[in-house]
Amino acid sequence: MTPEILALLVERYPDGYDDDQIISFKNQHNEIIEAVEVTTEDTKYLVKVSSKLAVTMENYDEDDYEDFDDNDPEAVQDPSLEDDDND
């Protein structure tokens, strides 16, 4: 995912997304995929729903991506989903 798409997601779903905003479909392997939709003027994106996506959206800060191009897919790293209660 690029910083641009992440910013679009946070803008479209500032309080997170609800079940009624999730699109379900089957992929080429007949697996059910759940995604949320974001659009630009010329492109429609379906972003796969996951716990990592929710955490990434919750922790979004546009300043974290100021040193990256908007279309750099390496800029958005997977969040750590480790349980911090073990400290």
| Residue 67 domain flag | yes
pLDDT of residue 64: 58
| Residue 87 domain flag | no
20-69 per-position pLDDT tens digit: 999 999 999 999 999 999 998 999 999 988 877 777 777 766 565 555 55
| Residue 85 domain flag | no
| Residue 82 domain flag | no
Hey, what long-range contacts does 78-84 have (CB within 8 A, 24 or more apart)? 78/52, 79/52, 79/55, 81/51, 81/52, 81/55
Answer whether residue 13 shows pLDDT above 80.
yes
pLDDT of residue 80: 56
| Residue 83 domain flag | no
Q: How many structural domains is the chain composed of?
A: 1
| Residue 66 domain flag | yes
Domain of residue 69, residue span: 3-77
| Residue 57 domain flag | yes
